[in-house]
Amino acid sequence: MSEPIRVGLLGCGTVGSGVARILTQNQEAIAVRAGGPVVLARVAEVDPSKADAVDLPRSCVTTDSMAVATAEDIDIVVECIGGVGKARELVEAALAAGKSVVTPNKELIAKAGHGLLQLAAARGVDLQFEGSVGGGIPIIRPMKESLAGDDLLSIAGIVNGTTNYILTRMSEEGASFEDALAEAQKRGYAEQDPSADITGADAANKISILASIAFGNYVDVSEVDTEGIDKMHPRDLVAAAELGYIVKLLAIAKRLTDDKLEVRVHPTMIPKTHPLASVGGVSNAVFVRGRYVGDVMFYGPGAGSLPTGSAVVGDVVDAARNIRHGSSGRVPCVCAAKAELLPADQICSGYYLRMTVLDQPGVLGAICTVFGEYGVSIASVYQKRVEGRSADIVWITHKSRESSFRQALQRIDQLPVVERVSSTIRVEDV
Ligand SMILES: NC(=O)c1ccc[n+]([C@@H]2O[C@H](COP(=O)([O-])OP(=O)(O)OC[C@H]3O[C@@H](n4cnc5c(N)ncnc54)[C@H](OP(=O)(O)O)[C@@H]3O)[C@@H](O)[C@H]2O)c1
């Protein structure tokens, strides 16, 4: 029997406790798959009582995370504390000390992954992060390995379960954004501070990771055009449904040319017939288009202790195999250069637009004239309801450049017959 590979776990919260449970409960199968035993040897946790559920002598549990990250008898460090500051310091120290590192920390990988992967390559160790996108869904390794022979063209993902749950409640039950968010918090699907989810920042981290892997140049997440769901009105979700669409917070990345990408996150109307349309509740899915494979979709639980723990332990097994075979870095993941992103105002998409206008002759003509001046062509227009002297009108445009659409909208908003422009949502046929 070969020597055990020893794992040091940093953080024993939601994901860390799942990792600990799987590593201990599924030890035998893991040993077979990893070519020898893999043992959870040490845990670092601010509150050591959180590690009580783990069958580990108390002497192996400490509050000193740096000691575990750099311990001589640890081969693989699993970082599950989250955030960038302390986590980055610990991961850098572990890599520098020659440990392979596994982390589900998307913020860390999106913001510091490029440098950390270079450090890992320089030290001849692995840095694996399957759990950082899509929780339990295998997506990073399939993109790095199974699709390595393909020429990937685009990715569109529902990569945040909180916002997908809120939008599902709003469209299926007509709930307001505020009520749907409160419900998500009550059920434990949303944090007490949900800002990273509802602003789209979490999805931006994830799509920047996926786009970097798919297209080979690293995406600076601060450059990703990001819009959240906090301004969504149930009336728009109902109108979308009536028109044969559903609204999802999509993270989208497309390769435009060899060195130019389009990467963005925003509420998006997609046809109800699209495979992503049926992904409801807290589920996640990533839809990948390759030149050769065609369309493939990865679906499943996008978060949670055991699903994410499963992805993390899969990485641990892979890192353990590599250590046993002396072959770390077998699947390279260092990007050549920084990706050039198409500026947000150059992006082309269709638009849904709801506005309140005076219910009188000539209004549609006046609005169409402005659209025409900016080259925005109309696919369809519906009068939704009339209240007193006002009417709600919904427009769907053909694909237009963002800058032209926004300029037209500014002019339309100033027309005397237009009371207000209430909402705009991008329409995609991803
Ligand atoms: N939750 C999910 O379903 C999920 C899914 C995919 C990815 N992730 C990612 O996984 C990571 C962990 O998330 P989580 O939900 O498991 O967070 P969590 O429940 O808050 O767990 C983090 C744990 O680490 C502890 N901790 C913080 N700083 C520490 C330090 N310096 N040394 C030792 N322990 C420390 C925390 O203690 P205190 O609470 O006392 O600070 C907490 O117990 C994050 O990067 C997250 O984005 C989470």
Measured in Å, residue 108 CA sits from the centre of ligand 1 at 12
The 10 Å CB-count burial string (b at 16+, else e) for 97-118 is eebbbbbbbbbbbbbbbbebbe
24 and 58 fall within a common domain:
yes
The model's confidence at residue 334, banded by pLDDT at 50, 70 and 90, is confident
278 and 263 fall within a common domain:
yes
Measured CA to CA, the distance from residue 208 to residue 110 in angstroms comes to 6
**Does residue 296 carry a pLDDT above 90?**
yes
Measured in Å, residue 12 CA sits from the centre of ligand 1 at 7
pTM equals 0.96
Average pLDDT, rounded, for the chain: 95
Q: Is residue 158 one of the residues assigned to a domain?
A: yes
Work out the burial of residue 193: count CB atoms within 10 Å of its CB; fewer than 13 is exposed, 13-18 middle, 19 or more buried: exposed
134 lines ligand 1 (CB under 6 A): no
Contact between 371 and 393 (Cβ < 8 Å): no
Q: How many CB atoms sit inside 10 A of residue 76's CB?
A: 26
72 and 162 fall within a common domain:
no
The residue range of the domain holding 230 is 140-302
412 and 351 fall within a common domain:
yes
93 and 214 fall within a common domain:
no
Task: Give the CATH number, domain containing residue 276.
Answer: 3.30.360.10
45 lines ligand 1 (CB under 6 A): yes
Contact between 313 and 26 (Cβ < 8 Å): yes
The model's confidence at residue 1, banded by pLDDT at 50, 70 and 90, is low
Q: Is residue 103 one of the residues assigned to a domain?
A: yes
Task: Give the CATH number, domain containing residue 405.
Answer: 3.30.70.260
Catalytically active residues, by annotation: 206
Q: Is residue 336 one of the residues assigned to a domain?
A: no
Among 9, 15, 61, residue to substitute to test ligand 1 (most atoms within 8 Å of Cβ): 15
295 and 154 fall within a common domain:
yes
Q: How many CB atoms sit inside 10 A of residue 147's CB?
A: 18
215 and 115 fall within a common domain:
no
pLDDT tens for residues 144-185?
A: 999 999 999 999 999 999 999 999 999 999 999 999 999 999
166 and 280 fall within a common domain:
yes
Q: Is residue 106 one of the residues assigned to a domain?
A: yes
| pLDDT value for 196 | 97
CA separation, residue 197 to residues 159, 229, 265 (Å):
10, 9, 11
Measured in Å, residue 167 CA sits from the centre of ligand 1 at 26
Measured CA to CA, the distance from residue 115 to residue 91 in angstroms comes to 11
pLDDT tens for residues 206-246?
A: 999 999 999 999 999 999 999 999 999 999 999 999 999 99
268 lines ligand 1 (CB under 6 A): no
135 lines ligand 1 (CB under 6 A): yes
pLDDT tens for residues 182-208?
A: 999 999 999 999 999 999 999 999 999
pLDDT tens for residues 245-256?
A: 999 999 999 999
pLDDT tens for residues 380-410?
A: 999 877 788 899 999 999 999 999 999 999 9
Q: What are phi and psi of 361, to 5 degrees?
A: -65, 150
Measured in Å, residue 16 CA sits from the centre of ligand 1 at 7
Measured CA to CA, the distance from residue 206 to residue 202 in angstroms comes to 6
Query: Tokens at residue 227, please?
Result: 């819009």
Task: Give the CATH number, domain containing residue 48.
Answer: 3.40.50.720
387 and 355 fall within a common domain:
yes
Q: Is residue 24 one of the residues assigned to a domain?
A: yes
Provide the CA 148 distance to its chain's centre, in angstroms: 21
Using the 3D structure, point to which of 239, 269, 302 is the last residue of a domain.
302
274 and 126 fall within a common domain:
no
303 lines ligand 1 (CB under 6 A): yes
19 and 147 fall within a common domain:
no
Q: How many domains does the chain have?
A: 3
